[in-house]
């Protein structure tokens, strides 16, 4: 019996790329939906992947990309059109009678969050939940180990510094590879994972100093966490061509981090339970990044020093103007995750939620 063909959106991205590789390794036919037919798309074809070019909001092309497949991975982009794209994808899934969908959402997703992408994630979750006769699995990680924590690993490698803007809070960040493997497992066995919500984490809860200590072992030198203001982080991220949609939400994600939201329910055994293999340690991910050419050698060291010294001079992104241009309507009362009764109700795990005053885990009944 032939194996079902699986559609992967965002196949040239981080988790999408892992999902494609894992599916191919398991012997499943894959169709990748990409925005541009470029060198990365050519690379997918070279691996034996079908490529469909479609914008996420193009209803006809998305439907064309979905015809002939039985299962799909929905990877939402950092884009103000993400919610429209989710509705287009859901409509195409229903029209083509898709068998199952795995979606990537957010641990923070709630309807009145001050970050518009997080509100859109929550609404998209409701859209997919309402699809009839389609198996659905939702994956809801927090911040990834690979980014933001290792986004500036070059500074640790060449200068012994690790930027940190999250105060004394801790987290158990999952690796991109583990997130992709959880998605892949759900795609391969949709009946086992139907209507499940999985939040993959790393194997240990870590603070900034903990991560710096791990990087010290990786590079065999002392790495110190340095308090970093948001404005400087945004300048560096903007220079690295991070999407404005994401940058416009970063201040709220940093605030959630400082409030300890990513520590709630972490660590857990989701990765091991779903994939059959233990979650990757932060050190494993760091060593993979440390082995890249840009993190080794004297020429790379001087490039990193120049980048560091020039960072304050880089033009800051005009995020206020960007948000005004989107003409978004803000919630009447914006609420961070631990302030939202909807979030508390949807994220209660064995009765545990965060007491924001005590900054510890306490028992509280769902609303």
Residue in 93, 55, 49, 73 with CA at minimum distance from that of residue 138: 73
Q: Supply the pLDDT for residue 354.
A: 34
Residue 82, classed as helix, strand or coil, is helix
Yes or no: say if 295 and 154 are a contact pair by the CB < 8 Å rule.
Answer: yes
Residues sharing a CB contact under 8 Å with residue 298, sequence separation 6 or more, in sequence order: none
Helix (H) or strand (E) holding 216: helix 208-219
Query: What pLDDT was estimated at residue 1?
Result: 63
pTM: 0.92
Backbone angles phi, psi at 293, to 5 degrees: -55, -35
What is the structure's pLDDT at 358?
Answer: 33
236, 240, 246, 249: CA torsion to nearest 10: 0
pLDDT of residue 301: 86
> What's the average pLDDT block by block, 10 residues per block, for the chain (367 residues)?
92 93 97 94 95 95 96 95 96 96 97 97 96 96 95 94 96 98 98 95 98 98 96 93 95 97 95 97 97 86 88 92 92 94 80 35 31
Which DSSP category does 187 fall into?
Answer: H
CA–CA separation, 12 vs 89, rounded Å?
A: 18
Instruction: State residue 143's pLDDT score.
Output: 96
> How far apart, in whole angstroms, are the C-alpha atoms of residue 69 and residue 84?
22
Q: Domains of the chain by range and CATH? A: 6-142+174-198 (3.40.50.720), 153-171+202-330 (3.90.25.10)
Place of tokens 């919630």: 331
């Amino acid at each position: 019996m032939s194996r079902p063909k699986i559609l992967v959106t965002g196949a040239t991205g981080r988790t999408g790329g892992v999902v494609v590789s894992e599916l191919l390794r398991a012997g499943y036919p894959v169709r990748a939906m990409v925005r541009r037919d470029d060198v990365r798309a050519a690379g997918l074809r070279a691996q034996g992947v079908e490529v469909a070019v479609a914008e996420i909001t193009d209803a006809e092309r998305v439907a064309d990309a979905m015809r002939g497949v039985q299962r799909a991975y929905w990877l939402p982009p950092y884009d103000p059109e993400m919610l429209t794209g989710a509705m287009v994808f859901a409509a195409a899934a229903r029209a083509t009678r898709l068998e199952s969908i795995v979606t990537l959402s957010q641990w923070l997703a709630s309807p009145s969050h001050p970050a518009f992408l997080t509100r859109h994630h929550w609404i998209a979750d409701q859209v997919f939940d309402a699809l009839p006769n389609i198996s659905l699995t939702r994956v809801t990680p927090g911040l990834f180990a690979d980014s933001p924590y290792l986004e500036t690993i070059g500074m640790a490698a060449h200068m012994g510094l690790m930027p940190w803007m999250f105060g004394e809070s801790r987290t158990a960040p999952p690796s991109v590879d583990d997130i992709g493997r959880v998605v892949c497992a759900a795609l391969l066995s949709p009946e086992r994972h139907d209507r499940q919500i999985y939040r993959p984490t790393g194997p240990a809860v870590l603070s900034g100093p903990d991560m710096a200590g791990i990087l010290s072992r990786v590079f065999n030198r002392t790495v110190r966490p340095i308090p970093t203001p948001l404005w400087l982080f945004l300048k560096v991220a903007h220079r690295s061509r991070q999407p404005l949609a994401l940058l416009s939400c970063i201040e709220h994600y940093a605030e959630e981090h400082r409030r300890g939201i990513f520590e709630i329910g972490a660590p857990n055994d989701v990765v091991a339970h779903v994939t059959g293999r233990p979650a990757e340690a932060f050190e494993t991910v760091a060593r993979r990044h440390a082995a890249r050419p840009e993190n080794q050698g004297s020429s790379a060291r001087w490039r990193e020093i120049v980048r560091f010294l020039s960072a304050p001079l880089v033009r800051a992104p005009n995020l206020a103007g960007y948000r005004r241009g989107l003409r978004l309507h803000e919630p009447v009362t914006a609420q961070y995750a631990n302030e939202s009764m909807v979030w508390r109700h949807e994220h209660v795990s064995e009765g545990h939620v965060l007491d924001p005053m005590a900054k510890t885990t306490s028992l509280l009944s769902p609303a």
